[in-house]
Amino acid sequence: MSTQTSGPAIETAGPVKTFGETRAVDGADLVVPAGTVYGVLGPNGASRTTTVKMLATLLRPDGGEAHVFGHDIVREADEVRGRVSPTGQYAAVRAQAADLSRGTGGCRARSACPASPARS
């Protein structure tokens, strides 16, 4: 398995996804540089989830092209899956809430955290 690090992390050209008569994704061109954090924002129904699912190989696009770390999401889906692990917004919220309930104020690194309250 190669470990390509040069070039963009994500690059799309005209991806399309339809559900029946509904064209959910219609050419969302992206170039996301490797090593960056990229948020996908938009109103309800803007096809954010559908686009992310295609990039994670959970949905097959109906047209266009997309590459993740240089690998085609259709022809090299196994390579893509070995490099990505999408996480929804609630995973971060739950971890932070758990830290807050333990009195650590969202702190994750042991050496930087205040002493945790005694547990019974």
Query: Do 36 and 10 contact (CB within 8 A), yes or no?
Result: no
Separation CA 120–CA 116 (nearest Å): 12
pLDDT score for 91: 64
pTM: 0.70
28, with CB counted inside 10 A (0-12, 13-18, 19+), is: buried
At residue 2, the pLDDT reads 47
pLDDT of 105 reads 46
Domains identified in the chain and CATH numbers: 8-82 (3.40.50.300), 87-113 (no CATH)
pLDDT, averaged per 10 consecutive residues of the chain (120 residues), comes to: 70 97 94 90 91 94 97 97 79 56 47 47
pLDDT for the residue 85 = 79
Q: Which long-range contacts (CB under 8 A, 24 or more apart) does 17-24 make?
A: 17/47, 17/50, 17/51, 17/54, 17/59, 17/61, 17/62, 18/62, 24/50
Structure confidence at residue 95 (pLDDT):
56
The pLDDT value recorded for residue 110 is 43
